[in-house]
Structure formats: C-alpha cells, structure tokens
Amino acid sequence: MALQIETDVLVIGGGLAGCWAAIAAAEAGADVILADKGYCGTSGVTATAGPNHWWVPPDAEKRTQAVRDRNNRALGLADPRWMARIIDTTWRTLPTLADYYQHSITDGGVPHYQSLRGPEYLRALRRYAEVRGVRILDHSPALELLLHADGAVAGARGLRRQEGPPTGRDWTVRAAGVVVATGGCAFLSKLLGSRNNTGDGHLMAAEAGARLSGMEFSTYHTVAERHSTQTRSAPYAFADYFDAEGREIDTGADPDVTLPIARALLAGPVYATLARMPADLRAILPQIQPAILLPFQRQGIDPFTQRFAITLHGEGTVRGTGGLRLTDEDCQTDVPGLYAAGDAATRELIAGAVSGGGAQNSAWALSSGTWAGQAVVRLARVRGRRAREVAEATGGAGLRPAGTPDAADLNGQLAEGVRAEMLPYDKILFRRAPVLTRSLDTLDGLWRVARDHLTPGADATSRVRAREAAALVACARWTTATALLRTESRGLHRREDAAALDPGQAHRLLSGGLDRVWVTPDATAASAQVA
C-alpha cells in the first residue's frame, strides 16, 4: 500500500543542505519529512569529503574584508549582501552541532568548528535531525512535484525503493512547502560521492515552473588516481606531474592545475607523484582524511616515491555555481512554496562566475538550508498545509511518455549520450561555438527520446534510473545552451573562440524550458550587482 503523509515541511535530499533545512524547520516547531534517494548520512558529496566552512569572526572589519576579497574574485556576478549573510548564519549555526560532532580542540585550546570530516559530519546531522523529531525516509527518491491550481507547490511523490513490490512502494507527501536539496548535477562523472547527483531536483523544479541560473559555470575538475573516485584534492597540493616520456608538465604558479593537466590528458597519459610532501604530513595523512590513501594502498602504490597515472573528474554544477534561480532572501524559487538549498541552487550569489570551492559552498549549504527550512515553517503557519486541496502531478519525461513507450532499456543509452557530451575535456574546458551547437543538437535529440519513449520500467531501480536519465539530459541542455549564449570567457566558463572577458556580459544568464530550452540575461540581477 502506498505511503501517504501530511506534514508542514518536506525536504528532498539528505545531504548537507537538506539536513540543515530539516533541522532548522524542526527547531522552529514544524513537522518535517526528509526524503533521500539513498541514506541520509552517506548520501551526497559532503559525506565523502572534508568540508571547510567560510569562517569569519563577528568583527565588522574582518567580515567586510572577507566579503570584499571574495567579491573581487567573483567577476561581477556575486552579491556582497548574500556573502555577509552566509558568514553570519554559518558562524551562529555550526557550533549547534557540538552535541553530535566531536570537534577537535586545536593547539590554541579552542574548538575547531569550521572544518569537519564528511562521514562524521553527516552522521552527526542525521542524529541532530532525528533528535529534533525529523522523520527521515531513506532510499526514498522523489520522482515529481505536486502543484496546487494556483501554481504553489503542494508536495511530492516518489518511491521507497527497498520496500513493497518489485516496483517499490509509492509515497506521497503533502506539505505547506518543499525544499529541494538534491545537490548539483555531476553528469555521472566519477567525482567522489556524486552517483546520486543527477539533477533530479533541477528537473522536478523546472517541470513545476522554476528557472535556473549560471548553468554555464559548470567546468570545475578535480584530480584523482586514474581509476579512482578519490577526488580529495589536498594531497595534490604537493603533486608534480609528468607525461608518458617522463617530462615534467609545467602547471604554472596557479594552484588550479586543471587546464594544463587537461591539455596533457588530451595528448596522452599523465602521471603524478606526491614526493614533495614532507614526512611529518605523510605520517598524519590518515588522521586528517582516512580515505585518501586507501586507493593507493589497495593497489600497492607508494604515492610518495612512485609515479602513478591520474585523471581529472568533472564536477558539473557541484563545484560549479549554476542551479535553481532564487527569487528572495528565503531561497524561494520561481515556484511559490518551492525553495532550493545547497548545490541545487545557484551559487552565483556568493561566488559569482568562479567556484565557491569548499568553504563558501559549505557555508552556503548550511545557510541556504537553514533559511529555506525556516521559511517553509512560516509559510505553513500562514497558509496551512492545504493537504485536502486537489493537487496536480507535474512529472513528464521518464514518468509519463508523451509518445509510444519503448520497451528497450533507454536509461543507459541516454545516460551514456549525456556523458559523451558533458565529460570530454575538449568539449567542456575548451568550449567552441560549433562544438557546443553540435552537442546541443545531440542533446535535443536525446530529450525527444526521453520525452516520448522513456518508460519507468518494471522495477524500483529502473523507475529511478528513468527519471535520472531525463534529469541528466535536461541539465545537459541548460548547461550547453547557456555556454553557447555566453560569447566570452568569465571564471569557470571558458570559450576558446572568445577568450577575453567582455564587460558587456557582466550579467547572469537564466535558463529553463523542457521541450524548448531558452536562455536569457537576468535583468534583475544586473542592477542588484551594482549595489
């Protein structure tokens, strides 16, 4: 039998942002459901990482300086007010985790709040949420949003993939508001922890009427051992890189080695060694990040004395900045009652055209989640749950084929089609108009297949994969169309055929649409940036 729940707040996604959203809502006294595709505690890219948070004490001068430094690097697309807000919310909120996370007492004798181990952080957030009364639905991917007749969000539907018949047990949650915290879209690259990050929330929100922003800023890459997912970048600060002939690759003074390494990888295999890491740091590396050395040890590689093959994994919008556009300070999307938090939302507000990296993005996830969770509680108090009103399902591709259902397994075919356009370095890091145009044509073709023929499938796994495939195609189209329209290079977006920054394009680009993808300059953002 299907699971039917009425609640105040529904949070979709149980990573960093989703957990903080659920905790904030529960703290404010609301009934909260948190539904995660996987397991809240291991799901999402933070659980496998070691997030640092943007951490500036409440000293007016220091905070002004911190915001000014980052705003100067944001290439005109960030908003200093949002930066100041996340610094403040992070400073006040992160220490509340102390009952559930054993913060290190550093040499100075003070708790070190800002930098945490991912698995322990997410385990702590789960406990915190449970103690506050959040009801967590694990292995319960959302498939679509529900809308009221007036256009406000009414809830969501999904399935519990480990329960019920082979197709899973369906769930429906009716809520006063919904927080989408489904993470960025990593396009099924092998980025550590990103398998679930297929842009499901982007698709669901777009079907409900939401717009996106900044999808062209999606080119961040991270080094890993060749066959490994271990994209923990810290030890690679000591890396030297070599080509197949043993010649050292000049990566320049910039700590970001993406472009020279990508060029070298396009020409042939690339090798690295961490020989420059001093002995004292080698000795404590397992206590800093216990998973970092596992791939080496399990292959009998000594990364400190040997050269090993490496690769670059694309991060899509994870450490890119694009995502759902926000319309107010509560992180509401274009859809009334639908909020976006963490990597599912655009991070242009805090990072502009460059990556928010670790520290800014973690502070953003915590803060945007907290604000969105609190906002839905206020909404619930004003408007009620509206759970008895008729609501309409909004899901299309991968749920309800518009044409003849195709029994063939299209999920894998569509996912591979997206990977072929979104992962090759020459297409993503060295963008050119003719290649982008061809990619968009290909992706439009994949969308027609997804829309017309993609069917949910006969078991829980293929029901989820069908929606993932549709979401991947949708995100790839918004990304590619936006990259095509931005005829300049700015931050993470690089065009080989327009290498300079064009002062006339210092505006954000909105995108959206399903059958017809559109891209347009964001007029409202441009004026806000001047402030």
Partner 1 sequence: MIELILADRCTDCDTCVQVCPTNVFDARPGGPPVIARQEDCQTCFLCELYCQSDALYVAPNCDEPVAVDAGAIVASGLLGQFRRDSGWHEWAGQSPNLHWRMGELFARGRKPVAAPTP
Interface residues with partner 1 (CB under 8 A) are 37-39, 41-44, 47-48, 50, 52, 102, 104, 106, 112, 115-117, 119-120, 138-139, 161-162, 190, 192-196, 225, 227-230, 234-238, 253, 255, 276-278, 281, 284, 286-291, 294-295, 297-299, 461
Shortest distance, position 200 Cβ to partner 1, whole Å = 14
Shortest distance, position 513 Cβ to partner 1, whole Å = 30
Give the Cα separation of 349 and 60 in Å (integer): 21
Shortest distance, position 419 Cβ to partner 1, whole Å = 13
Residue 44 near residue 51, CB atoms below 8 Å: no
Residue closer to partner 1 by CB (options 197, 332) is 197
Q: Rounding to the nearest 10 degrees, give the CA dihedral for residues 241, 242, 244, 245.
A: 180
Residue closer to partner 1 by CB (options 415, 483) is 415
Neighbours of 246 (CB within 10 A): 8
Residue closer to partner 1 by CB (options 121, 478) is 121
Give the Cα separation of 311 and 385 in Å (integer): 49
Residue closer to partner 1 by CB (options 109, 504) is 109
Residues 6+ apart with CB under 8 A from 168: 159, 160, 161, 162, 459, 460, 463
Antiparallel, parallel or unpaired: β 212-213 and 323-324: antiparallel
Phi, psi of 173 (to 5 degrees): -120, 125
Residue closer to partner 1 by CB (options 231, 489) is 231
Residue closer to partner 1 by CB (options 60, 248) is 248
Q: Left if phi > 0, otherwise alpha if psi is -120 to 50, otherwise beta: which for 233?
A: alpha
Buried b (16+ CB within 10 A) or exposed e, 398-414: bbebeeeeeeeebbeeb
Give the Cα separation of 163 and 471 in Å (integer): 24
Give the Cα separation of 127 and 131 in Å (integer): 6
Shortest distance, position 195 Cβ to partner 1, whole Å = 4
Shortest distance, position 225 Cβ to partner 1, whole Å = 7
Residue closer to partner 1 by CB (options 294, 407) is 294
**Strand segments (E) across 281-382:** 308-314, 323-324, 338-340
Give the Cα separation of 478 and 496 in Å (integer): 20
Shortest distance, position 289 Cβ to partner 1, whole Å = 7
Residue closer to partner 1 by CB (options 301, 485) is 301
Tokens read off for 388:
């008895």
Shortest distance, position 337 Cβ to partner 1, whole Å = 28
Concatenated DSSP letters of 55-85: ---S-HHHHHHHHHHHHHHTTT---HHHHHH
Shortest distance, position 468 Cβ to partner 1, whole Å = 11
Give the Cα separation of 80 and 71 in Å (integer): 6
Shortest distance, position 120 Cβ to partner 1, whole Å = 8
Residue closer to partner 1 by CB (options 21, 274) is 274
Give the Cα separation of 461 and 38 in Å (integer): 12
Output 295-299 pairs: Cβ under 8 A, ≥24 positions apart.
295/225, 295/228, 295/230, 296/225, 299/225
Residue closer to partner 1 by CB (options 298, 388) is 298
Residue closer to partner 1 by CB (options 291, 387) is 291
Most distant CA atoms of the chain, gap in Å:
69
Shortest distance, position 270 Cβ to partner 1, whole Å = 16
Shortest distance, position 247 Cβ to partner 1, whole Å = 17
Residue closer to partner 1 by CB (options 237, 528) is 237
Helix (H) or strand (E) holding 423: none
State whether residue 511 is helix, strand or coil.
strand
| Nearest partner of 262 among 270, 253, 274, judged by Cα | 270
Shortest distance, position 211 Cβ to partner 1, whole Å = 29
Tokens read off for 232:
């923990």
